Structure 1
Amino acid sequence: MRIGEIIRQYRTEHGLSLRAFASQSNISPSYVRKLEMDVENKSSITIPKISSIAKAMGLTPDELLAAMDDTTVDLRPEKNPLPANIIPVPEMKKVPMLGAVACGEPIYMDEVRGEYYPMDSSIHADFCLRAQGDSMTGARIYDGDIVFIQSSPVVENGQIAAVAIDDEATLKYFYQYGDTVVLRPANAKYEEMTYSREDLDHLRILGRAVAFQSAL
């Protein structure tokens, strides 16, 4: 099992957020996120970090190592470790701004050329959109927030998706039942948007929301 899978399973069983587990194990939240998202098992982990994670889980390093049958361990000592009170800034990347996406009625989407927003490089996002309106406040997405999108023509039921309707775009919970697509808001004052078979040619999934940056 990968170390990221072990951490995620532990957090789920103990009701811990990623940030809470990072604090408990004395490593950065960005590093914990990197381990959990490393589905292709490309990352290695050092013995000192294994010891910190094991201690946070109430295990010995040997017990944790025994469970890690699918993770590369870097046996080299860590060089110049940071003091405990200093957290390294996560590696960042720039994501292009595509335009605005409606949290309410669909709005026309313009590409904003040359505008980029920084985000943690461990999160896979291909572009971002600026939310407009209040239909997704129940999902903690407010007017003016920047929503980061992973491009995909298909999303799972219940995921928040950016969907283009002709030349307009909206951000909603996505559901598909046979030949019917339902776009569901996260604010009770808005109604669902339902599209049947004859409407689907006008509808295109841009991708799934993977992160947001609050405008507040």
Structure 2
Amino acid sequence: MNQTVTEVKDIIKNRRLQLGLSYSELGKMCGVDKTTAWKWELGKIENMKRDKMVLLSKALDISPLVLLGIEEYVPNHPSKSGNDDKIPVYQEIVGNQLKQAIANIDNPYPHEKGEFFALSLEVKDEQLTPLLSTNEVYAIFKKQSVAENGAVVAVTIANEKAMIKKFYKFDDVVVLRPTTEKGEPMTMVGEQVNEVCILGKLVGMVSPFMN
């Protein structure tokens, strides 16, 4: 089923708000100013260049065919409460596929809309470990494909194992910094930026003892 211009502009607006992006942030991701991004939500997308449409679809994590009105947009359907009661926990994530969860935990953020997943991490802080029942914590992420500078994200590069890094993007440069003082930053430029895939933004950590 084809989308009308009105439907497409509404999709752009709803996805921007869902991802928490301002007009300036969306425009920067697409290489345009905030006024242009605002006009897209008014339905003025007839003359959008192909490269901008690709960038917009990537920023909003939707198919370019949806923006062309060729493909029907099928959003994720949240539960009746606006959030799942359980969050899947993964030992590791390879690429952008969330498979083979090792556990499911109660959602500690029942009033926050969105989809969540968790990564199991080993605690190596000797001062913190005695306070926990195990040396394991769950890092909980809200699923999203974009993030603001300085956000802690679960991210993969070229479909490799997911890492937890601080994310920064400047034009065609992406810098992934360690979340602690140890480790060196990773810098991607040019085409390498296209291999960076954000899986979600960190919203908190819980101990398995709490579930």
TM-score tier, shorter chain, comes to 0.3 to 0.5
Bigger Cα Rg: 1
Normalised by the size of structure 2, how large is the TM-score?
0.46
Looking at secondary structure, tell me which structure has more strand per residue: 1
